[in-house]
Chains A and B, each alone.
Chain A
């Protein structure tokens, strides 16, 4: 079996058993990247030298027996909105085209402690704003299944890199479906954890109350193993949750007898592609055959999720992105007169269209006179959506539905009609608004040969339930073939108030949400 066809856990096992060295694994990943990048463009930055040096270092630790973690020596791609010390971190934006962070994101540090070898930073929609990875300032990423199609977004680079065998797994971030939707489009497995499970420290914020980092991999087992590695309670992130149940691989059990699964009939209504619908219902049948109780129900409020999401996420983004001003780092306009002109020109030239659209939208909904009508109303809607899910989870263990209304659209189709693109987020964003965990597992192909993913949603902190359901489904579904490496190369020329689950008092162990004076450690190195 080729290294590029192995799952992360398979490769990790072979590295631990000394069948493959970490350096060989890194070389195989880099070779695959060299082969496929011309047609796919999954990476903004590939760190060949760093990866090989790191792999040699990890191999030493593996050989000496000091590193025994399941992912030790396995190459990984990191979405380019997570800070990596000394390694370019651009958010796929011109405004951060030269930005090298002085510190590494907590989730990435957790991976590094477990022996991960970072091969590069994956492409994304600029600042994670988009559903196609076409808004990147560094070129579009193409779908490995058909390079005329988008990979989805915003974690399109991570998903396409996994689907094409460039890396066995990658990290993505999910603010409104940015892990689950591209996973569906690329035929890979992606998991967005409960808000607060993975530290956001070092994740360059889009919508702070919605953002979560999560794994993207070839199968459910890899996702569980990666989440187990990156989840941590982090004092540097006030919204981080102390959880005792992060042994997610313990949920890899092929048993769903008695598991209650609800399918929101609202999700199967008009707007859902018939082929996608059929594939989703077929996936539900697989679980039913294995003993799960499956029924449809009315979730309600589904149509309000999109406006609420775009108001909240854009509002937070308008403020989060104000620090990119050309003063301290990143892009600064060449010519300007005075401070105001420098701000205006640097930001006008540095940000892309979609980002500017959302900054303007967000600034508008927060401006005086509109705050109550838009922002507060959106927060109330968010609370109601959470309540609707609470009611649903009184009856069901898992909610099952599509991750997107269609399979991957063609390049160029979506950006022409942003509203239509926003509507494509309908099945994913309410999960972010309610702070819930959600997962996409490949469940079929449409007539064009493009993958379809089934989404499994759990109640807050119930990742184990969805992992169990996903694993059981995967076993029932049978092997899932990703596009063969040769096939990809051959087509080269063809080519977001706080997140829902718990209030502040419950989230922080101290109850007060603060740290002791002088007791905190300085986070990372000195600034500028």
Chain B
């Protein structure tokens, strides 16, 4: 019988914090500036410059720590990680090794295999590096330090995950928590959330961990799942062949669905960590900690329960609505405006999800305003427009965030409720479709549907199908 293997996975997740300014200087963290425009002597490592810690970074790190059940080091320090690379202007990164801000936490995940707690070893604060750009034309490398000094937290899990499903469940939960906290937008594609996968395999039942590898360059949940499967298979194959797994950092190529060892940069490199003498220890008072705790927003689990209780939203729907911070925000804001939670939920669960799927978009990318959805709901509620027109208008809202009121006026989409006008159109339809009329009269009730459709078509959809049907029945 073939050997059974267990996969052991731990994650190192880097998250870019949503602060206005960098971690150690006053430069903007905004994306998209011309190279080296969001820089100053501090974030370009100019001689004589000194770092000053951004208080907001500490608060966001604390918030994430509290939300992931971590303990907080109320006396924590920054350390220098020394290594030479041009994206790092000082040739050391300011990070935390000896006393990270958060430690010993964990979050509960749920997969088909059941519920489990994934432990969080620590969360530490650090600075991001700049970007190296190779100029093929000039055959030289250039550095852009706009991202240098952007605040990051690194969340280091315990090796508690055993499958790709668990990894995805953990990341999903982590992402939601951080998004709910407003600590980051956590976009994998844009790099505001990055996960490195530490993976090893061992024979089922073995006590000791196998040799692990670290996988980098994972830009989506799907890539992560594929990389986990791929690396698991690669390691098992090595062991089956009697070979050894080498401890190394590997780079995942999602197009080729395979990984290759990276430069030996990480191999046995001595970072010569020591406390940064330019920064004083961060002292978190009980009051400050309590202030942050008190400011913690409602997280997903609580929100989900509240939606079921307060709005009578079914389990499944509440799960979808709270599955994205943006979606939940739209739901709550729209409901507050129109007071129709069920209707709002229907629009989000129905048309919104359909259009998201059609566009290949994530719920976080939703950009329409709750005001316009609320207006649309009111227009349907008071019968100004019918469901068909409403769907058409919603597409406009979804894509362009138009004002439905103005749009309906402008395009003359109001439902025609004038019975005389409708009767005239119905009479025309009856006259133009003698076959269907005789079919109906001959007992083929289905023909009525055809005639209603023809009338709606003639009305360009601006009629209430119920009213049309009633008039038709009367006239026939």
A contacts, CB < 8 Å to B: 82-83, 89, 91, 96, 99, 101-103, 105, 200-205, 207-209, 235-239, 315-316, 318-319, 322-325, 327-329, 339, 343, 363, 366-368, 371, 375, 496-498, 503-505, 507-508, 510-518, 520-528
A235 to B24, CA, bound (A): 12
Write out the residue numbers on chain A whose beta carbons fall within 8 Å of the beta carbon of B58. Answer: 512, 514
Given contacts A237-B50, A498-B280, A520-B52, contact A323 B45 (CB under 8 A): yes
Write out the residue numbers on chain B whose beta carbons fall within 8 Å of the beta carbon of A527. Answer: 36, 39-41, 43-44, 46, 145
- Sorted nearest first, the 8 A-B pairs with minimum C-beta distance are A504-B280, A517-B56, A527-B44, A520-B26, A322-B91, A208-B277, A514-B53, A366-B272
A91 to B44, CA, bound (A): 19
Say yes or no: B272 contacts A363, CB within 8 Å: yes
Say yes or no: A511 contacts B283, CB within 8 Å: yes
A239 to B277, CA, bound (A): 9
Say yes or no: B288 contacts A236, CB within 8 Å: no
A467 to B265, CA, bound (A): 53
Say yes or no: B36 contacts A517, CB within 8 Å: no
Among A83, A204, A497, the residue within 8 A (CB) of B277 is: A497
A18 to B124, CA, bound (A): 60
Given contacts A325-B84, A512-B288, contact A504 B49 (CB under 8 A): no
Measured CB to CB, the closest approach of chain B to A391, in angstroms, equals 25
Measured CB to CB, the closest approach of chain B to A44, in angstroms, equals 15
A315 to B273, CA, bound (A): 10
Measured CB to CB, the closest approach of chain A to B233, in angstroms, equals 34
> Closest residue to B60 on the A side, CB-wise?
A517
Among B51, B272, B284, the residue within 8 A (CB) of A512 is: B284
Say yes or no: A515 contacts B91, CB within 8 Å: no
Report the interface size for chain B: residues with CB under 8 A from the other chain: 53
Write out the residue numbers on chain B whose beta carbons fall within 8 Å of the beta carbon of A201. Answer: 48-50
Considering only residues 395-430 of chain B, those with a C-beta below 8 Å from chain A are none
A518 to B21, CA, bound (A): 5
Write out the residue numbers on chain A whose beta carbons fall within 8 Å of the beta carbon of B460. Answer: none
Write out the residue numbers on chain B whose beta carbons fall within 8 Å of the beta carbon of A235. Answer: 52
A523 to B53, CA, bound (A): 14
Say yes or no: B91 contacts A323, CB within 8 Å: yes
Measured CB to CB, the closest approach of chain B to A499, in angstroms, equals 8
> Closest residue to A364 on the B side, CB-wise?
B272
Say yes or no: B274 contacts A323, CB within 8 Å: no
Among A315, A328, A505, the residue within 8 A (CB) of B274 is: A315
A504 to B277, CA, bound (A): 11
Considering only residues 20-76 of chain B, those with a C-beta below 8 Å from chain A are 20-21, 25-27, 36-37, 39-58
Write out the residue numbers on chain B whose beta carbons fall within 8 Å of the beta carbon of A324. Answer: 47
Given contacts A236-B52, A319-B274, A511-B285, contact A101 B280 (CB under 8 A): no
Given contacts A521-B26, A524-B40, A524-B41, contact A102 B46 (CB under 8 A): yes
Write out the residue numbers on chain B whose beta carbons fall within 8 Å of the beta carbon of A89. Answer: 47
Say yes or no: B278 contacts A522, CB within 8 Å: no
A202 to B40, CA, bound (A): 13
Say yes or no: A517 contacts B57, CB within 8 Å: yes
Measured CB to CB, the closest approach of chain B to A524, in angstroms, equals 5
Say yes or no: B21 contacts A520, CB within 8 Å: yes
Measured CB to CB, the closest approach of chain A to B354, in angstroms, equals 39
Say yes or no: B19 contacts A517, CB within 8 Å: yes
A322 to B92, CA, bound (A): 8
